Amino acid sequence: MLGHAQRIVPLAGGILDRARMQQILSAFRPQVIFHAAAHKHVPMMERQPGEAVKNNSLGTAQLADQALEFGVERFILISSDKAINPTSVMGATKRLAEIYVQALYAAHPDKTKFMAVRFGNVLGSSGSVIPVFHRQIAEGGPVRVTHPEMTRYFMTIPEASMLVLQSAMQGAGGEIFVLDMGKPVKIVNLARQMIELSGLKPDEDIQIEFIGIRPGEKLFEELSHTGENFAPTTHSKICRFISQPVALAQIRDTLQDLRVKLHQAEPDQIKLLLREVLPDYAPCLLTAEASLPAITELDEDRRRAQASLRP
C-alpha cells in the first residue's frame, strides 16, 4: 500500500452481496475484474458442498452478470486444474463457473470478454503443502503424505501472476488458459527434498507417513476436458483451450435448480445433483468414504492421454 494511496482502494464486501457489488461497480466502473473469490479447501468442501456451490458457482454467475451490466471490458475467472474431470466438489463447482462465463460470453460476444485461467498448485500460497511440510519438519515429523503415487503440477507465485496478466491481455473471450507447468511432481519426492534441504535425512531423522487419499482428492490432475481444443498463444508457456459453450438459458436453469435445493438437500444429494449436470464429475459420497480412489489401468491410460496433450 505504501506509495499507492491514490491508486489502491481496499474495499470489503462479499460477491454474494448483490447490492454491495452493485454499489462498488457503479462507483468505480472497473475495466477489468480478476475474480479469485472461492472456497478452495477440497476436504472441507466435501462436507459442505452447498457452500461451495453458493460461493464458487452461484457467486461467480452473479458477479459475471453484474460485470456485463456495468460494461466491464474483461472478466478473468481464476479456476483450477481440479475442474477437469472433477472428483471433488470444489472442482465441480469451479467447472460450473467456467461453463457459465463461457456461455455468457457466447450469448453476448460484443460486450464483456469473459475468460478463465486454470491454476495448478501455487507454491507458498494459502493452503499450499509447502508451509504444512515446513511446520511438520520443524516439529520433528512425521511429514504426512496422502499416497506414494500422488502427483501435482506446481507453479510459483510470479508464474501464476504472469499467467493471469498475460491471459487477460491475450483473451478474446470464451477461452480457458493454462500455464505449461512442465512435468507433475510426486508429493513424496517434494517431502523428501524439503527434509533434505532442512539438513535432515528422510526416514531417519524425519519419518514420512502415508495417511491415505482424502475424500474428493485424486492421484493426479489432468490438463483438459474431452472436447476442448488446444490452440497456441503468443506466449510459449501459455496454452489456450476452446470448447463449444452450452446455451446460457440451460446453465441458468441448472444454477437456479441448485439454488432452490441448496439448503434442502443433504451433502450427498447435492453431489448427485452436480453429477447430473456434469457427466465427468465422479463424486465421493460421504456414505462411501471407504471406497477411495485407487490406481487402476484406467488411471494410467488417462494419465498417458493427458501427457500427450502437453505442447
Rounded CA separation 188/179 (Å): 23
Rounded CA separation 272/99 (Å): 18
Q: At residue 161, what is the residue type?
A: S
C-alpha 74: how far from chain center: 19
Task: Find the length of the chain.
Answer: 311
Q: Residue 274: is it exposed, middle or buried by C-beta count within 10 angstroms (0-12/13-18/19+)? A: buried
Three-class DSSP category at 9: coil
Rounded CA separation 287/309 (Å): 35
Contact 218, 201 (CB under 8 A): no
Contact 82, 96 (CB under 8 A): no
Rounded CA separation 93/209 (Å): 31
Rounded CA separation 272/282 (Å): 9
Residue 218 is among the residues annotated as catalytic for this protein:
no
Q: At residue 85, what is the residue type?
A: N
C-alpha 293: how far from chain center: 20
Angle between helices 248-261 and 267-277 (to 10 degrees): 170
* Sign of the torsion angle spanned by Cα atoms 36, 40, 46, 47: negative
**Catalytic residue, candidates 40, 82, 113, 218:** 82
| Active centre residues (catalytic) | 82
